Amino acid sequence: MYEIRLHSRGGQGGVTAAKMLALAAIREGKFATACPFYGAERRGAPVVSYIRIDDAPIKVYSQIRQPDLVIVLDMSVMETVDVLQGIREDGRVLINSPHPVDMQGHPTYHVDLTGIALSLNLVIAGSPILNTPLMGALAKMGYVTFDSVKGAIEETFSDDRNVEAAQLAYEELER
Amino acid sequence: MLTIATGNKAVADAVKDAVPAVVAAYPITPQTEIVEQIANYVASGQLASKYIPVESEHSAMAACIGASATGVRAFTATSSHGLVYMCEMLHWAVGARLPIVMANANRALGPGWNIWAEHTDSLSMRDTGWLQVYVGSVQEAYDATLMAFRIAEHADVLLPVMVNLDGFALTHITQSLETVDPGDFIPPMKLPHAIDTGRPAGYGTLTAPGDYYRFRWDIERSMRNAASVIEATQDEFGKRFGRTYGMTEEYRCADAEVVVVAMGTLGKEVEIAVDILRGQGVKAGSMRLRWFRPFPDLDLAGKEVVVIDRDYSFGFGGIVAHAIASKYDVPIFSVIAGLGGQEVTYDDIAGFVRDRRPGDEYWFGVDA
C-alpha cells in the first residue's frame, strides 16, 4: 500500500487532486481511498489530504501517520507545518517548486506546477490550477500510469488544457 | 458502473436508483452533500422526485410521514442535532407503520460543538422502533441504502430504516463505487393502510389502553420478522449484484479466543488490528455489528469480547457493550473510543486487545 499525504492551502484544489489520483488508481483496477482532513479550514489556511492506494480493498480509516510520499503544493505551508512529520525513512517528497529543495535527505522531486498552470492560463478565480499538472508528476513518479491520469482528468474536467498541463509536468519533473 | 464517490454521494446515488416519490430535506453537516446531490438530481431531471426543502429536521420527518402515509416512497437525511430534533417524529413514523428510509451521518452532539463521528446520536434513538444499520465503506453505504427501501417496505416489516454512516470518516472520503440497476429488486411500494380518499378512514386517533398495547406488540412482531427479511434481502442482493452482507461482518472469528466488536469504520479498522494481533500470537477476530436494530444473534460462546463503543450512556456505560452484556454471558472489556472523531488507529485497537481487562471499562485517552 502507498500512503500519500498532500499539503496545500484551502482553495488550491488539494481535495480534488486526491480524488483524481484515487480515480486514476481505480481505473487501473486498484483500490484507493482519498480523505480530506476537515477541521476549521477556510480559503488560504494550511490543509491536508490523504490518499491510500493498494491492490486489496482498504480497511484503514485513520489518518496517515507514516507517509510513503509527501506532496507540498504550496511551499509557504512549510513555514508553519512540519510536512515531513512521520515520513518513512525512505519516503519521497514532491514539491511544487521551480528549483530543487533539500528535504533532509529524502528523495525530493520538484516541478513548477504554478508556472505550468500560468503558462497555459489555467486559472480559476485568480488561482492557478495545480492539481491537474500534479497528476502528470505523479504518473512520472510511477504511482499511476499517464494513461489513467489522462482518463481521470478527462472524467473530472472538460478543458483539454488540463491534460496538456499534466503532460508538461510529466516531462518537466526533476529530482 | 464503476466510479468513485464519497460516502454521501453513494447514499444520494442509491436514493436516485430507488426513486422515492418525495425527498424532504434540511441540510446539516456532515450529511449536507447527500441532500445537495439529490437536489441536483431532481433539478437536472435525473430523479423524478418531489423535493421539499423544509424549515427544520422535525418538519423533514413530518413531511416524510405525510408523504409515506399516502403510500409513496419517502427519504430524508440528517445528522446529530438534526436527528435528535426529529425525535418525536421518529416515534410517530414507527407508530404509524411508515417505511421511510433515512440516512444519518453519525456525528457527536454538542456542546462542545463538534462535527465529527460518534454513534451516540443514532444509538440514543434505539428505542424508537427504527431499524438501524451501520456501514463501513462507500460501497456499503450505497448497497445498504438501496436495500433499506426493500426491507422497510416489505409486508412483514413496514417499519422505517435508518442507514448510519460515520460523519467525515465515511461521508467525506472517496472510494470506488459500483452502482447497479436495481430493476425489480425494489418492487413498487404497497402500503396496506395508505390514505385513500375513496375509502375514508380515521388516522392517529385516540387509542385507549385496551388497544394500544396491541399496536406496540405488532411493532415488536414486525421487528422480530425484520431479521429474516433483512437476511433474505441481503442474500437476494448478493445473488443479483455479487456483493454479500450479513447481520454482522466477521473476520477470522471462527477460531478466535478474543472477538473485537465495533460498528462503522472503526469496525473495518479492527480487521487490520486482528492481523497484527494474530502475528503476535493473539487469537483475535473481528465482529463488526452491521445491524443494531433488530439486534442480531451473535455467536460469542466461549469467547472473550472486547467492545469498542463510539458512544456512551452516561451513568451506565458503552451502549453496545451493555447490549451484548444483557444478552450473552461472556467476559467483556468495554472500550470507549473515537468520541467526537477522536483518532483511533489499528495500533491503538491492537493495544486495547493486548491489554484487555475483562469486566472493566476503559476510556481511551483518559485512563492510564
Mean pLDDT, rounded, for A158-162: 92
Inter-residue long-range contacts of B294-299, CB under 8 Å, 24+ positions, other chains counted: B294/B131, B294/B223, B294/B224, B294/B226, B294/B227, B294/B230, B295/B323, B295/B327, B296/B227, B296/B247, B296/B248, B297/B227, B297/B247, B298/B248, B298/B261, B298/B324, B298/B327, B298/B328, B299/B253
Q: What pLDDT, on a 0 to 100 scale, did the predictor assign at position A170?
A: 97
Count of beta carbons in the 10 Å neighbourhood of residue B95: 16
Give CA separation, A56 vs A59, B157, B252, in Å.
9, 37, 17
Q: Is A153 on the interface with B (CB under 8 A)?
A: no
Q: What pLDDT, on a 0 to 100 scale, did the predictor assign at position A39?
A: 63
Q: What pLDDT, on a 0 to 100 scale, did the predictor assign at position A41?
A: 61
Find the largest Cα–Cα distance for chain B. 69
Let me know: does A43 contact A11? Beta carbons within 8 Å: yes
Q: Is A34 on the interface with B (CB under 8 A)?
A: yes
B2-50 per-position pLDDT tens digit: 999 999 999 999 999 999 999 999 999 999 999 999 999 999 999 999 9
Q: Which domain holds residue A39?
A: 2-172
Q: What pLDDT, on a 0 to 100 scale, did the predictor assign at position B42?
A: 98
Note the helical H segments in chain B.
7-18, 32-43, 57-69, 80-85, 87-95, 120-123, 138-153, 209-241, 265-279, 319-327, 346-354
Of the pLDDT bands very low, low, confident and very high (cuts 50, 70, 90), residue B57 is very high
Of the pLDDT bands very low, low, confident and very high (cuts 50, 70, 90), residue B204 is confident
Q: Which of B2, B175, B345 is nearest residue A32 as measured by Cβ atoms?
A: B175
Q: Rounded to an integer, what distance in angstroms lies between the CA atom of residue B27 and that of residue B57? A: 9
Q: Is A26 on the interface with B (CB under 8 A)?
A: yes
Q: Who's near A104: CB < 8 A, 6+ residues apart?
A: A84
Q: What pLDDT, on a 0 to 100 scale, did the predictor assign at position A44?
A: 81
A35 vs chain B: nearest CA distance in angstroms?
A: 4
B72-110 per-position pLDDT tens digit: 999 999 999 999 999 999 999 999 999 999 999 999 999
Q: What pLDDT, on a 0 to 100 scale, did the predictor assign at position B368?
A: 57
A77-118 per-position pLDDT tens digit: 999 999 999 999 999 999 999 999 999 999 999 999 999 999
Q: What pLDDT, on a 0 to 100 scale, did the predictor assign at position B1?
A: 83
Q: What pLDDT, on a 0 to 100 scale, did the predictor assign at position B38?
A: 98
Q: Locate CATH 3.40.50.970 in chain B.
A: 2-241
Residues of A in contact with B137 (CB under 8 A): 57
Instruction: For residue B79, give the 3-state DSSP assignment.
Output: coil
Q: What pLDDT, on a 0 to 100 scale, did the predictor assign at position A14?
A: 87
Q: Locate CATH 3.40.50.920 in chain B.
A: 248-363
CATH architecture of residue range(s) B2-241: 3-Layer(aba) Sandwich (3.40)
Mean pLDDT, rounded, for B295-317: 97
Q: What is the DSSP string of B144-182?
A: HHHHHHHHHHSTTT---EEEEEETTTTTT-EEEEE----
Mean pLDDT, rounded, for B158-169: 97
Quickly name the fold that domain B248-363 has: Rossmann fold (3.40.50)
Q: What pLDDT, on a 0 to 100 scale, did the predictor assign at position A152?
A: 94
Residues of A in contact with B176 (CB under 8 A): 22, 26, 31-32
Q: Which of A19, A22, A59 is nearest residue B271 as measured by Cβ atoms?
A: A59
Q: Who's near B113: CB < 8 A, 6+ residues apart?
A: none
Let me know: does B121 contact B79? Beta carbons within 8 Å: yes
Q: What are phi and psi of B40, to 5 degrees?
A: -60, -45
Pick among A55, A62, A154, A155 to test the B interface (most B CBs inside 10 A): A62
Give the mean pLDDT of chain B: 97
Set of cell numbers at residue B268: 473495518
Mean pLDDT, rounded, for B117-134: 98
Q: Do B4 and A23 touch (CB under 8 A)?
A: yes
The percentage of residues in chain A with a pLDDT greater than 70, rounded to a whole number, is: 98
Q: Which of B168, B176, B346 is nearest residue A60 as measured by Cβ atoms?
A: B346
Q: What pLDDT, on a 0 to 100 scale, did the predictor assign at position A13?
A: 86
Set of cell numbers at residue B151: 426491507
Of the pLDDT bands very low, low, confident and very high (cuts 50, 70, 90), residue B183 is very high
What ipTM was predicted for this assembly?
A: 0.92
The number of distinct structural domains making up chain A is 1
Q: What is the DSSP string of A7-71?
A: EEETTSSHHHHHHHHHHHHHHTT-EEEEEEPPSS--TTSEEEEEEEEESS-----SPPSS-SEEE
CATH number, domain containing residue A105: 3.40.920.10
Q: Which of B172, B176, B272 is nearest residue A60 as measured by Cβ atoms?
A: B272
Let me know: does B196 contact B21? Beta carbons within 8 Å: no
Q: Do B4 and A22 touch (CB under 8 A)?
A: yes
- Three-state SS string over B235-293 comes to HHHHHHHCCCCCCEEEECCCCCCEEEEECCHHHHHHHHHHHHHHHCCCCEEEEEECEEE
Of the pLDDT bands very low, low, confident and very high (cuts 50, 70, 90), residue A40 is low
